[in-house]
Amino acid sequence: MSDKSEDREIRKIRLKRMIEELKKKEGRGTELISLYIPPNKRISDVIYYLRQEYSTAENIKSDQTRKHVQDALVKVMERLKYYQQAPENGLVIFCGAIPYGAPGNEKMEIYVIEPPEPLYVNLYRCDDHFHVEYLEELLKEKEVYGLVSIDVNEAAIGVLEGSRLKILSTHTSGIPGKHRAGGQSARRFERLREMAVHQYFDRVARHVNDAFLSEEIYPRLKGILIGGPGFTKNEFVEEADLDYRLREKIIGYVDTNYSGEEGLREMVDKAKDILKNVKYHSEKKHMDEFLVKLARQHDLILYGLNDILRHLYDGIIDRILILDDFNYYYIKLRCKICGNEEEVFTREEEKMKLEYRTPQCKKCGGDMEIIEEKHIIDYLDDASKIASFKIIIITSDTEHGKILKQFGGIAAILRYSLNY
């Protein structure tokens, strides 16, 4: 993976976490605002619209709901003043009075999100919950695999998007059978047939090039599988005029009984394992490297949160491998009396306890308050910018993810030996 796609992975994980938090929040009435602004939209237009919504809210009968809606609208408009136009991926704002305990104990909260990818949704909604579904849509699997099923009679081109097969086109060869008509010379027949096969291959290849290099597919194309009965599929790849960018993406051949459309369906069933391995291939490579070093160069690895935190800023860490569901938090506390600061790393459950019970200062026994709080992946992400290491997110629901779990869910591969 390139640095950029690693960064995107981290942003996606952060967003996923935030969506989970937002889903839990409910308003007392229809008073929580969800606002989606598409890329590059003029903010003055949005503010104009929200001012009208503010006037409309005058008609709300319940005093409390009216006040909450109008307060939220003011807060959103205040926040929007920082922008001239929406950022290049758009902007999403959630705002509203969230109840904590008895009525009257609502807290006005605002969440401003810049999506990790362009989000073309234009929406204002006032409801008893936040509308996070469009953001969730962004996180769904969007990678596609190209499929070509071919034999001498027919060919079909399709894409696999998630688990959905979409057939793009089908082609027949028009090539005569292997048996020549009476009176035709065998050599001439063979030559004509070869020419016809060649033309057919090139025709299919042109369609494959057009389909898979299109703007809609190519940027998401993870790999191409070629399928069909017998050797025609191999000859096709060897001889046809396939674009070099697509050749690089061929990840395997699949033997099937059928060709054409039916062949594509057969390929999807047979290729599940191949596809799964491709998806996690780069993750697995990092884990394999960790395991090899564990066995042979033990001084070039670290594992477990505490050991990694101890060496985080030493400049020896090259990569940190961390499970996507590693739920730890970094919390910074400050004593209200003597100003003493303490940092703790804690699980999500422990974090809740800290929030409800006031911890005591180790120096003077005074009350401490939380002054900073970050998810561990965000904490590591910040640290990575200073100590220049990479963060590799490992999918926990995989074989290699289960192995990482046995090492505490977090591990590091080092640049230099620890004993150096």
Binding-site ranges for Zn ion (CB under 5 A):
335, 337-338, 340, 361, 363-364, 366
Q: Which is nearer to Zn ion, 21 or 372 (CB)?
A: 372
Query: Which amino acid appears at position 216 of this protein?
Result: E
Q: Taking the complex as a whole, how short is the minimal distance between the CB of residue 369 and Zn ion, in angstroms?
A: 11
Q: Taking the complex as a whole, how short is the minimal distance between the CB of residue 59 and Zn ion, in angstroms?
A: 52
Rounded Cα gap, residues 415 and 316, in angstroms: 5
Phi, psi at residue 237, to the nearest 5°? -65, -40
Q: Do strands 390-394 and 317-323 pair parallel, antiparallel, or not at all (unpaired)?
A: parallel
Phi, psi at residue 163, to the nearest 5°? -110, 15
Q: Which is nearer to Zn ion, 288 or 372 (CB)?
A: 372
Q: Which two tokens stand for residue 103?
A: 């009525």
Q: Taking the complex as a whole, how short is the minimal distance between the CB of residue 319 and Zn ion, in angstroms?
A: 38
Q: Which is nearer to Zn ion, 359 or 366 (CB)?
A: 366
Rounded Cα gap, residues 145 and 336, in angstroms: 57
Q: Do strands 32-37 and 91-99 pair parallel, antiparallel, or not at all (unpaired)?
A: antiparallel
How many other CB atoms are there within 10 angstroms of residue 329's CB atom? 19
Q: Taking the complex as a whole, how short is the minimal distance between the CB of residue 332 and Zn ion, in angstroms?
A: 14
Q: Which is nearer to Zn ion, 301 or 331 (CB)?
A: 331
Phi, psi at residue 417, to the nearest 5°? -65, 145
Q: Taking the complex as a whole, how short is the minimal distance between the CB of residue 337 and Zn ion, in angstroms?
A: 5
Q: Do strands 368-375 and 301-303 pair parallel, antiparallel, or not at all (unpaired)?
A: unpaired
Q: Which is nearer to Zn ion, 245 or 362 (CB)?
A: 362
Q: Taking the complex as a whole, how short is the minimal distance between the CB of residue 345 and Zn ion, in angstroms?
A: 21
Q: Which two tokens stand for residue 116?
A: 């990790």
Phi, psi at residue 149, to the nearest 5°? -115, 120
Q: Taking the complex as a whole, how short is the minimal distance between the CB of residue 362 and Zn ion, in angstroms?
A: 8
SS3 375: strand
Instruction: Of 271, 275, 217, give the one whose Cα is nearest residue 243.
Output: 217
Q: Which is nearer to Zn ion, 99 or 366 (CB)?
A: 366
Question: How far is C-alpha 374 from the geometric centre of its chain's CA atoms?
Answer: 20
Please say whether the dihedral angle defined by the alpha carbons of residues 383, 385, 390 and 395, taken in this order, is positive or negative: positive
First to last CA, the chain: 29
Q: Taking the complex as a whole, how short is the minimal distance between the CB of residue 342 and Zn ion, in angstroms?
A: 9
Instruction: Of 37, 110, 19, 46, give the one whose Cα is nearest residue 72.
Output: 110
Q: Taking the complex as a whole, how short is the minimal distance between the CB of residue 368 and Zn ion, in angstroms?
A: 7
Q: Which is nearer to Zn ion, 176 or 365 (CB)?
A: 365
Q: Which is nearer to Zn ion, 191 or 363 (CB)?
A: 363
Instruction: Of 329, 330, 404, 337, give the one whose Cα is nearest residue 364.
Output: 337
Q: Which is nearer to Zn ion, 361 or 383 (CB)?
A: 361
